[in-house]
Amino acid sequence: MKLVEPSLSEQTYETLREAILTGRIPGDTLWSDREIAARMQFSRTPIRDAVQRLAAEGLVEVIPRRGTRVLPLRTEDVREIHQIARALELEAATIIARLPERDLSAIEAAVIGMEEAIARADREEWVVADAAFHHAVVHGCGNGRLARLYDAQRSLTDRARYFALYLRELPVRSAEEHREMLNAIKVCDATRLATLYREHWDRTTKELLELVERHGTTVPVKAQ
Amino acid sequence: MKLVEPSLSEQTYETLREAILTGRIPGDTLWSDREIAARMQFSRTPIRDAVQRLAAEGLVEVIPRRGTRVLPLRTEDVREIHQIARALELEAATIIARLPERDLSAIEAAVIGMEEAIARADREEWVVADAAFHHAVVHGCGNGRLARLYDAQRSLTDRARYFALYLRELPVRSAEEHREMLNAIKVCDATRLATLYREHWDRTTKELLELVERHGTTVPVKAQ
DNA sequence: ACATTCTATCTGGCATACCAGTAGATGTGC
DNA sequence: GCACATCTACTGGTATGCCAGATAGAATGT
């Protein structure tokens, strides 16, 4: 076995993506590829490759002969992304509910994790368990494409969730809702599932939007 | 006003994408970017840009130091893509149904177009009307991201639909189902909508899969 | 003082050269 | 004839230089 170094293009992509999603590079920032190339000690080619991938994901916008702009996360974007995520996850949950041989242990474990996190008022643990729940659902339906699409969309709002974590109330209601979702999957009630998902995501969207609006349409710059 | 020539990268992308989706480049084809560059009279740079966009969409796979492979459309892919498309379109339809001021004229026109096409047994017209229906739904819900995602996913199965058009029965049932969907939107019955979409896409998927399986897992090569 | 024109400088798009790694052809020993 | 080592041609990844267009600020005219 040989250790394969990830390509420079891949390294650049990961670095920039992480920096944007955690808010280290604030929205509306304008840069040039030569600037990044100089900073990362690479040539422009792998940087251009990475930037184009980010542009395809909707994180940045390349303006010919002007520069590359980091797109700010607007309230409208959060609304759209959440609608998409809701639709995909509901589809996945419905598929799982109808599977003849389904394994709900991962989802069950996530729900228990959320309940324990709430009981201990541990926000960090809650985030982990929440992510585990959604991950278990979209990755458990047997549709890898759907899972990848979901992850790609949801990560776009990571910027907002990232700084919202400590600004909001303890998500007690959210934990309850996830327990209800699990029950609906168990009894294979598609209509109930649809209702639950609609309510859950509507509430989550509303909460996140309030935070985004209170702090402006862009995410505050975090310390480097 | 100045006419802006689309970039070479853009031209290459459009050309290759169209060639793949219509089946002119059959699945599993292996090529090199130098080969395309020579054929299109460009340098490798814009070709590499275009190929990377296609790779991000899942149409091709870039294998370092081997070549770029056109991914064949497998039955599993059709199933996954259709599940995603169903979820997104159902979400869009549900959103439209709940809009306070909704304009269903485009959807209504598409349904009428499908019914007329069936009456005249005009397959070409039916395809146009069918596309118009789905387009009106996903573009009418006020979520541009969802619409773009839907179009991107659905176009992936164009290869299959393209050659399936004249191999199947006249889609009489499909036209009826679309009429029922429109009615469900009108009376804002989300549960009924979900059921209709499930049945419609399940049937459509099954029909397409039968055709794909009968003709192998890849699309036959069309004459250039 | 202000509007306008011009120019230095910067941008992304593109062409090209080189590199390291792979596959298949070629050669070699049996 | 066949297994195996070697070698060659070709691949995508990367670095770099040039180009045309766009910008901002200096130079200019009023």
Closest residue (CA to C1') to nucleotide D21 in the complex: A65
Question: Any idea what DSSP says for residue B65?
Answer: T
Res A216: pLDDT: 55
CA-nearest of B110, B111, B112, B92 to B102 is: B92
- Angstrom distance, A156 CA to C16 C1': 37
> Considering only CB atoms, which chain A residues are within 8 Å of B88?
84, 87-88
Report pLDDT for B146: 96
Q: Which amino acid is at B92?
A: A
Which tokens hold the place of B199? 């049945």
User: Looking at beta carbons, which pairs linking A4-13 to residues 24 or more positions away fall under 8 Å?
Assistant: A7/A46, A7/B64, A8/A42, A8/A46, A9/A45, A9/A46, A9/A49, A9/A50, A10/A50, A11/A40, A11/A46, A12/A36, A12/A40, A12/A42, A12/A46, A12/A47, A12/A49, A12/A50, A13/A49, A13/A50, A13/A53, A13/A54
Calpha distance B18→B3 (Å, rounded): 23
* Confidence band of B133 (pLDDT split at 50, 70, 90): very high
Q: What's the mean pLDDT when you consider all of chain B?
A: 88
Token pair for B94: 């549900």
pLDDT value for B167 = 78
Model-wide pTM > 0.85: yes
Tokens read off for A157: 């709002």
Minimal-distance CA residue of chain A relative to B6: A64
Residue that the structure tokens 């979520």 belong to = B143
Residues A141-193 have pLDDT tens digits of 999 999 999 999 998 887 788 777 777 777 788 889 999 999 999 999 999 99
What pLDDT, in 10s, does the model give residues B178-193? 999 999 999 999 999 9
pLDDT at residue number A150: 95
Nucleotides of D under 7 A from a protein CB: 10-17, 20-23
- pLDDT one-digit tens code per residue, A2-35: 445 688 999 999 999 999 988 888 888 899 999 9
Give me chain A's average pLDDT, please. 88
